Structures are given as C-alpha cells and as structure tokens.
A and B are shown apart, each in its own frame.
Chain A
Amino acid sequence: MTTHASQESSPVSPGSRPRIRLLHLYDRYLNIYADRGNIQVLRQRAAWRGIDVDVRGLEPGERFEPGDFDLLYVGGGQDRDQQMIAERMASDNGAAIRAAVEEGTSLLAVCGGYQLLGSGYRDTTGAHQPGVGLFDLATEAGDTRLIGNVAIRAELPAIGARTGATVTIAGFENHAGRTTLGSTARPFGAVVHGNGNDGASGLEGCRLHHAIGTYLHGPLLPRNPQLADWLLAASLAHAHGIDAASLIDAPDTIPGPVTALERRALATSIERAKSE
C-alpha cells in the first residue's frame, strides 16, 4: 500500500494558508519518551504563525513516496516494538527516507529512531537490527545505560535568507546504544554536559542536510523552541520554496507566557545537566 498526499512543492498562493505535510513513521510503535509532545509543539508553533501542519501516521506494510511529505518524524520504541519495526522500515521505506532527505525534506529522529537511521543496531546478544542507512553511523549496545540530563552546542544552519545560529540545546538521554559516526557524518552538536553519542567522543547526534538524529528527548522540542522553528522553517522551504522559510519568524506570534516558560524550562534543563 502506498500513501499519497496531493501537494508538490509550490509557492503559497494568495489567500491560502501555508501547509506542512508531516509523516510520523510507525506512530503506533515508535512513540516512547513523549514523542507526541514533539509533534504537538510543531503543530502548535506553526498554528500560531497561521501555518497548518497535517500529521499522518504510517502502519507496518505501508510505503510512502519521498515527495509527499515535508517533514518526517521517527521516534523511539520499547525493545520489542523497535525490533519489529526495524526490518519493516529498512526494507519498505529505507530508500524513500534517503531520497526524501536528499531532495530537501526535513527530518527529526529521536533516540531509537535515530539509531535505526544509521547502519543498524547490534544488541548485547549480537543480534542485529537493520538500519535505513541515511546517516553514516553505527550503533552497538554497551554494558550500561547512559542516563541523565544533557546539554549540547549545535549549529542550526541558514535556510535561504533565514540566518543560521549556534544554540544550546538540552534534553534527557537514556540509551544503552553507543553510536559511532562514520567519516562522512557530521554530528548534530558538541556535548557540553552529559554523554551524547557514546559517552566518549564528545559528539551528539548527526545532521545531514535538513535531517537531524539525536538521543535527546524530554521531549526535545518544548524546551528547545529554536530547534522546533528551524525544523518548521526547513519544512516550509520544502513545501513552498526557499523564501517561505522565514514565514516562521513572523514577529509577535508566540504568546508571552510561552516564551517565558520555554526560557525557564531550558535554563533548568541546562542547570540539571551541569550539576550531574
């Protein structure tokens, strides 16, 4: 079965609202660690700017067309769910994910979802979950779990006329996997406090074009609105052309109390990471 959405990349026509097409891959299975919080944040921050986000899920057995979506989301699962999904995702949709990111679709993958976008995951028994091969990285289970608050410095590059920024991002990590980046991979950020990819390299996550994979949850986006807005800007650029990216920066659209709470949440998160 193939999912279809009608719209190809096109400028926003006068009188109509911009629209982002979001695909949450295997949403019923990869949804641990409050993944739906990230989706809610994307949807609501877009709505505050007059932008619609259509969210679709994907079931095992379904395939999607690379051009049909502007933003892909891959969450983490409990062990059994993730095992079951790993093969389906790689065989049914691996090529579509790689092609989509190559042609500018944005993507956020968190924790287990991040691991599955590399070459695969080898657990402590030696069993191997196949990966999608989007990111040049490999993950093996370690003896201990890396758990705690974490803060990183990450570059969010410019998108068209929208300027880039280097920002502090904070979240919570909880993973047994040790992820090693290959020679062509660029990390998402540098660890300031916490473990990151492997607890040793000082690197966290991976970024390729507008695709980000990371171990940080919490969920990630409520306390890191700059990252949420960067993903939305990249998605707008994909949906409506590069100039549409700056639609996300419309002034005075975020309610004041939200901005205050975001600052506080991020500051506490960084404080926790620092003191652990």
Chain B
Amino acid sequence: MLAAPIARVARLVSRMFGREGGAIPGRVLLALSPRALEVLARRGRARGRRIVLVSATNGKTTTTALLAEMLAAAGLDVVHNVTGANLRSGIATTLLQAGRRGDVCVLETDEATLPRVAPDLHPDLIVLGNLFRDQLDRFGELEVLADRWRDTLQQLDPNVVTVVYNADDPLIASLVAEQEHARGMRTLSFGLDDPLVAQDSLPHAADSRFCRACGHALEYERSWVGHLGAWSCPNCDAQRPEPRVVVERAELDGLAATSMQLRLDDDEGAVLRLPIPGLYNVYNALAAIAAASLLDVTLPVMGDAIDSAAPAFGRFERIPVPGPNGEHGTITLLLVKNPTGLNEVVRTLVSSGVDLTATLFALNDGIADGRDTSWIWDADVEPLLQRAGAMVVTGERAAEFGLRAIYGVLDPDGVIFEPDIEQAMYRVLERAREFTEHGHAYALVTYTAMLSMRAAIAAQGWTKSYWANEPKKRSRR
C-alpha cells in the first residue's frame, strides 16, 4: 500500500538529481519517504537481487572494493557504493540510482550506521570485519557499539541472513556465537593462522581484551593486528572459533604485494597474490573471499580478481610526481584515522624496508577526521619517527602531532612545521628529491587532510583526476 507513493517519490528524486552520487539524493528520498530503504531493498529482492552489508572499524572500503571486483569477475552485475558514501543517506542514494539493475548489492556500511540500516535492508550476507577504538567523540565507547551490533543481529531473520565474521576479533566472534547458539544463525568465520607474522605482544592500543561472556582478561596464543588473534578466556569456555576461511602463510613483499596461502573449509587451497601491502589488508581480503565463496565465486576467479586489485582511495595509493628536471618521484597517500590503523600503517612502512627520509603527517580535526586528536598518542609511531629522523607535520592540528613526535622520540629540530597542507607537500617532495635515491615521499593523512592534498595534486595536473567522482565526506552527525 505504501509502495506506490514511494515509487513515485523515488522517480521524482531520481529526476531531480540525475546521476549525482553522494548523500544528498538519498537524504531527500529518506526525508520524503522514511521507509524507502525497506521498499527499495524488497523490490530488488523480488527480482532476485541479493544484498551484502560490509562493516568494520578499519578496512570496510577495501573489503567492499575487493568483494565487488570478485563478484564482477564472476560475471555478476554488481551495485555498490563506489563513492564511499557509507551512511544511511549514501546507501539510499546507491539503491535509488541502481533502479532495477543488479544481481547483487555490496554496501560498505559505517559501523554506527549498521544498526540503522540492516533491519530495513534484510541483507543476505553481513560481513563483520573488526571493531577497534575509533573516534570516540562520535561513537561513545566500543562496548556500546558492540551492544548495538548485537541488537542488530537479534533483529535479523536467521533464515535469511548469513554472517561472515572475523574469528580473530573476540568482540565480534562472541556476538556472533551468541546468535549461533540462541537462534541457529548461519555463519562463516575467517581468520589468520601464520605464526611468522604474529606481533611480539599486544600493542598499547589493543581494545577488546576482556571476555564478553564473563569479563575475565583474555589470553592470546598469538595476535596479528591490534587485538585480532588466537584468543581464549582462561575463566570460561569462550575461545576463538576455528576459522573456516584461513590464510596459513602471509609473505609480505615490501610495499608491493602480499602472497597469501589460503585454505577454504579444510579442503580447497590456493596461493593468491594481493597487490596491496600490509597484514591488515590480508584480513580485508579474507573477509571478501569468505563472502564471495558464499556467493558461488570460484577460487581461480577470486585469485584473478584480487591480483588486479588497486588500492582504494588513499590506501597506499602511489601517485607519480614529475620533478623539475624531468625525473620522476612519487608520493604515497596513507589514510590514517585511529590508533590501530595508524599502528598498521607504521608497521607496514617500517617492515617494508623503504627509505622513509621524506615523510609527512597531516592532522586535521574535522568531524570526518575525529575532532578529538588524542588518538595519535595511543598509536605506536616511534618506529616510524626513528626511521624517518625528521618529519614534515601539517594540517590544522599540526602542532599536536609535532608535540607527539617530540615527546615520543624525535629530536625537536626534526619537526618540520608547515601548517599549510599544500606547502607541506612541496616540502616533503623536496626532501624526497634531495635526500632519497628514488624520490619517494610518504604522506600519512587524516581524511579531510587527504582531500586537501588531493586537490593540490590535481591542481598540479600530476595525475588525471580520476577521483573527481569522490565526493567530500559530509557531516557524520
């Protein structure tokens, strides 16, 4: 009964905005028809279109992109929120503009938004990657978010949804276990099992160190990224579920690629090459592979799709930069937004062995960056500072990072303070030309700082502005 007016509203909004992406068309649609998500999802389902929601604190953009690549390689018509518009409005825009198109919708979903969209969308698959301490000024603490995710799963029909989840994250694994036992929910676990790339100890920023069932401190046989690892509770019987999709060996080849020895459900195995560096991206690939396996994508197809994957927006994205004398250098953009993400970027850079003499850190405190900059103190940036020896610091809160660096380990004269992001970029490129053999510069940037730097890069014409379609991240509140 309500469907007809929504269809008319949807047509109207579509006509108003044409192919414009981002949040606004969806916001208008939802203002006019609050039930639009539910109706659009149901109509798609009636035509056989499936919905996959991908959520995590870190890696959801990369996971979504990898999964979409694999599904497309398998010949499916894939709808996904390419713009990274992962709030309720962005998801509404994606569904609106997909119209009747698509065999499958892969939707990157902000972790605080997941509870606000999943019950309306009735997803076929829900992919839960990790929960780390993120911008606390936005979410409140981690436990609150975990409780909301539990309530979300509780509202989903166990006959419809399958939950793909990270067995190595105790908070997520415990949530899912509750659903498995109480409601018979179908699940597929993924995880790592390579002792050679384990962390020496849990980092300072490790978040979920207590048993969700009984509150006792967890024990780790091994850990790989933040609090992700082979965990167990010494007090009750909670422990990491055996991961069914597992990487048994991850060999990191500098910043170029990672070779992954993969096993699916104890039988099928393969070695895949992931051309994006960092152990945390192995987790993202695992999440995508596990989800794809449930959507009937074969291993060879997955392998080919992953092999040709490109880094997502600002995730180890290397941009060529012409020098004044015709020589070429590069600047690599590394998005950072929370302690665990920053730890992993630092670890990947340092362990790759690349020359880090020309390094920049850009700290802004917009809503999309996190207004509270205290997270930079919870990350272990010392190994990077030690290797870099000096660092260009920039952005609206550059002084905060400068102090962080000095109170860490950097000589006070090693802070090259330049609050203007464009000027700072020239400074770091100059350092790369002067002091490094190959002219490679590395820029660790928060979200809005990255947008500013990209604008400067585009204005120089150093690269075709293929990110012109990327919208500004809009207010998250």
Residues of A within 8 A of B (CB): 31-34, 36-37, 40-41, 44, 78-81, 84, 145, 147-149, 172, 174, 176, 217-219, 222-223, 255-258, 260-262, 264-265, 268, 272
Contact = CB atoms under 8 A, between A and B. Distances in A.
Contacts of B413: 255, 257
B313 interface: no
A261 B377 contact: no
A34 B215 contact: no
Given A80-B143, A222-B400, A265-B403, A37 B137 contact: no
Contact of A261 (B133, B207, B374, B402): B402
6 contacts: A32-B141, A34-B378, A84-B210, A172-B137, A219-B374, A272-B365
Interface string B370-385: 0111111110000000
Given A34-B378, A148-B371, A264 B399 contact: yes
Nearest to B406: A258
A258 B372 CA distance: 21
Contacts of A37: 374, 377, 404, 407
A262 B403 contact: yes
Given A217-B374, A257-B413, A272-B365, A41 B399 contact: no
B198 interface: no
Nearest to A38: B377
B255 interface: no
B417 A261 contact: yes
A147 B141 CA distance: 13
A218 B412 contact: no
B215 A84 contact: yes
B408 to A, nearest CB: 7
Q: Shortest 6 CB-CB distances between A and B: which pairs? A: A34-B377, A37-B377, A264-B399, A255-B412, A34-B374, A265-B399
Given A36-B204, A174-B136, A257-B413, A78 B403 contact: no
A258 B399 contact: no
Interface string B168-182: 000000000000000
B323 interface: no
Interface residues of B, number: 36
B263 to A, nearest CB: 34
Given A34-B375, A223-B400, A268-B399, A145 B140 contact: yes
A78 B208 CA distance: 10
A260 B406 CA distance: 12
Contacts of B11: none
Nearest to A176: B140
Contacts of A265: 397, 399-400, 403
A145 B144 CA distance: 13
B110 to A, nearest CB: 18
Contacts of B375: 34
A257 B406 contact: yes
Interface string B347-374: 0000000000000000001000001111
Contact of A172 (B372, B412, B417): B372
Contacts of B3: none
A75 B230 CA distance: 29
A79 B133 CA distance: 13
B261 to A, nearest CB: 35
B364 to A, nearest CB: 11
A71 B210 CA distance: 29
B142 interface: yes
A36 B377 contact: yes
A149 B143 contact: no
A225 to B, nearest CB: 9
A218 B374 contact: yes
Contacts of A79: 141, 143-144
Contacts of B415: 257, 261
Kindly name the residue among B144, B400, B407 whose own CB sees the greatest number of chain A CB atoms within 10 A.
B407
B396 to A, nearest CB: 7
Interface string B190-212: 00000000000000100100100
Contacts of B397: 265, 268
Given A78-B207, A148-B371, A172-B373, 12 more contacts: A33-B374, A34-B377, A37-B377, A37-B404, A40-B377, A79-B141, A176-B140, A223-B403, A257-B412, A265-B399, A268-B399, A272-B365
Interface in B208-223: 210, 215
A223 B399 CA distance: 9
Contacts of A176: 140
Contacts of B143: 78-80
Nearest to A33: B374
Interface string B426-437: 000000000000
A272 B402 CA distance: 18
A40 B407 contact: yes
A260 B418 CA distance: 13
B215 A80 contact: yes
A262 B404 CA distance: 11
A159 B371 CA distance: 35
Contacts of A268: 396-397, 399-400
A267 B248 CA distance: 51
Contacts of B406: 44, 255, 257-258, 261
A233 B208 CA distance: 37
A78 B404 contact: no
Kindly name the residue among A33, A44, A148 whose own CB sees the greatest number of chain B CB atoms within 10 A.
A33
A264 B419 CA distance: 11
A40 B408 contact: yes
A79 B215 CA distance: 12
Interface in B132-167: 133, 136-137, 140-144
Kindly name the residue among B371, B399, B413, B417 whose own CB sees the greatest number of chain A CB atoms within 10 A.
B399
Contacts of A41: 407
A60 B365 CA distance: 36
A219 B397 CA distance: 13
Contacts of A33: 136, 372, 374
Contact of B210 (A31, A80, A149): A80
A264 B403 CA distance: 10
Contacts of A145: 140
Kindly name the residue among B377, B400, B404, B412 whose own CB sees the greatest number of chain A CB atoms within 10 A.
B377
